[in-house]
Structure 1
Amino acid sequence: MKRSAPDPPTDLLTGREAAAPAGSRRRPALPALRTRGRDALWFWIFVGPFALGLGVFTYIPLAWSVYLSFFDAHNTVTPDHFIGLGNYTSMLRDGAFTGSLTTFAAFCAFIVPATYLLSLALALMVNRLRRAQAFFRSVFFLPAACSYVVAALIWKMSIFNGVRFGLANTVLGWFGADQTAWLSTTSPPWYWLVIVTVRLWLQAGFYMILFLAGLQRISPVLYEAAAVDGARPGWQVFRHITFPQLRATSVAVVLLLVINAFQAFDEFYNLLSDARGYPPYARPPLVYLYFTALGQEQNLGYGSAGAVILALIIAVVTVGQARWFGLGRKED
């Protein structure tokens, strides 16, 4: 007959299990400690280089930029003349900086709804395909892998070239229209057509993928129930079922579009600048700050103050949009 293990000693007064002597406590097994140490080692092997690069090339420059914004930093990154909030007050009173925010507002008013509608339409079209869906998904997403600089130069040199050899002017010439200097005409401002179309071509495919993922998460049971209730396929089903189910995706897409519009630089700079410099019109905030900090004056403190203000504006707008759309709020 097998003997059972003896019960642990108990305290006669309290009836509780008596504490084991300090020397008799069971120690953790060595293999478990070695496994944890090995896992930690591999974690830092994979994450360490990324974390180091993020700190050196992102967080340290950001912190140094905030530091510079409180100093008079002309032609130096190690200033010694502290001026407090002087750069911030001067930047907020600068008409060129407020004008750049107006340029951003105009660009945002064009690009956000246009990209939203086009990417949603592409996602709906691709989602309805029964064959070659992966092919068309890849084709529409492919421009997202293209460099903004390369795309801007193609738009500038080939499609919207101001001479008659440009593609846009060639097509207009077939109908007897005159040549148009697309990037230098300010009345009407045809340069907006060039800027918006290149950004639209570059990013519509990326947001199409987001909408496509949202569409594929919608349960088919909802469409079956709508068909039983007599809902007409098409606009009625889209309005009452598809679009409400895409609410979370729509909020994320709008937030990303607004943030990316704030960060617009490559297409503006490469489309509008030439050997004579950058024109006085259509300067978004980053282009203005670029010429402020790295132009002739090399006023790094003043430019850093503008960058901090712009970052705060982006944060406030993003948080405000998230609260307005109810991002993260539990649905009833």
Structure 2
Amino acid sequence: MQRTQRSLTARLLGPQNRNLWFWVFVGPFAIGLALFTYVPLAWSVYLSFFDAHNTVSPTHFVGLDNYLSMLGDSAFTSSLWTFVVFTLFIVPATYALALGLALAVNRLRFAQAFFRSVFFLPAACSYVVAALVWKLSIFNGVRFGLANTVLGWFGGDQTAWLSTTHPPWYWLVIVTVRLWLQAGFYMILFLAGLQRVPIQLYEAAAVDGARAGWQTFRHITFPALRATSVAVVLLLVINAFQAFDEFYNLLSDSRGYPPYARPPLVYLYYTALGQGQNLGLGSAGAVILALIVAVVTVAQARWFGLGRKEA
């Protein structure tokens, strides 16, 4: 009996107590992840089936009514279209800029680390701070804003960038601030991919008569970056779904949030934490949004063949 207990204890602890030390170091983080991430997620799913006004402990079960209400709410479906428009702007722009920066930095023969750090630095900036700089300094609607000052040099009229809807100049503000914040991060991913391309491929191409530049990029560099490109596009789409800080801090004011350019998270914020504080309805919307993100991510992964073995 004692031998069995010692054998079980030794199996649980592992050789040289490796299992024990593993849980000593990982256990606190696992507990924190469960308490502050998985438990709130599970409780949000639970709330979505109840009438939860101003409470997180509901008792009135409503089934799928919250989901049907969200799907039938034109404001919620409009917020999803806002995400689609934002994605169509930000994903290609960020992809092209990040890839261009990576190609330029990778060709440098000196000060490469300096320029890599300079382009990456905005990724460490707070989205809230960047949005306020864009709103109050660069795209301020008065003549003292940088954008209006530059327009004035060329005889242009002052523009209320964030309140003009025809044409929708607010998209220029939203897209440029997100582009500035995240292009450097994805540049680092592309740089890592470029450094994995074997130099022998370029040497063989040169021997075969391939010209340096567009021809080499099209037939060697870009195909070699396929896995990196797929990962970048997936991350860009997911991050676009999670857009909140720049929209909220750019467009909201003392009067509230305008009816245009309202992404899903901003709409859910006002639904769950606004005047009505309908946590059940907001939770249902969050679950719907999470399912959309999951479906889009899986569809993209299968479309690009992520994880598929090379023939």
- Normalising to structure 2: TM-score of the pair? 0.96
1:242 counterpart letter in structure 2: T
Q: CA deviation at 1:43?
A: 1.6
Name the structure 2 match of 1:135: 114
Q: What do you get for the CA RMSD once the two structures are aligned?
A: 2.0
SS at match of 2:49: coil
Which of 288, 292, 298 is equivalent to 2:267? 288
Match of 2:300 in 1: 321
Q: Percent identity?
A: 83
- Counterpart residue identity of residue 126, structure 1: V
Map of 2:177 onto structure 1: 198
Is residue 2:143 matched to residue 1:172? no
2:158 and 2:284 map into 1 onto residues whose CA distance is 43
C-alpha distance 269-173 of structure 1, shift in aligned 2 (>3 A) = same
Letter of the aligned partner of 1:59 in structure 2?
Y
SS at match of 2:276: coil
Q: Distance in 1 between matches of 2:310 and 2:10?
A: 46
CA distance in 2 between partners of 1:41 and 1:136 (Å) = 44
Structure 2: give runs of 5+ residues left out of the alignment: none
The CA distance in 2 between the partners of 1:313 and 1:35, in whole Å, is 42
Separation in 1, partners of 2:104, 2:62: 57
Structure with the greater alpha carbon radius of gyration: 1
| Cross-structure match for 1:111 | 90
Q: Which amino acid aligns with 1:234?
A: G
Query: The residue matched to 1:320 in structure 2 has which SS?
Result: helix
Shift of residue 209, structure 1, vs aligned partner: 0.3
Other-structure match for 2:232: 253
Query: Which of 133, 140, 164 is the equivalent residue of 1:154?
Result: 133
SS in 1 for 2:254: coil
Give the stretch that moved more between structures: 41-50 or 102-111.
41-50
Distance of 2:58 and 2:298 partners within structure 1: 34
Per-residue Cα deviation, 1:179-222 (whole angstroms, up to 9, x for no partner): 11000000000000000000000000000000000000000000
Deviation at 1:178, TM superposition (A): 1.0
Q: Give the C-alpha shift of residue 40 in structure 1.
A: 2.6
Shift of 1:173: 0.8
Instruction: Note the residue ranges of structure 1 that are not aligned, 5 or more in a row.
Output: 1-23
The answer to whether the 8 Å contact 2:13/2:20 transfers is no
> Are positions 1:101 and 2:80 aligned together?
yes
List per-residue Cα deviations over 1:141-176 (Å, max 9, x = no partner).
000000000000000011000111111111111111
* Total equivalences in the alignment: 309
The separation in 2 between residues aligned to 1:293 and 1:183, in whole angstroms, is: 25
TM-aligned CA deviation for residue 36 of structure 1? 3.3
Would you say the 8 A contact 2:12–2:19 is kept in 1? Answer: no
Runs of at least 4 residues off by over 4 Å:
30-35
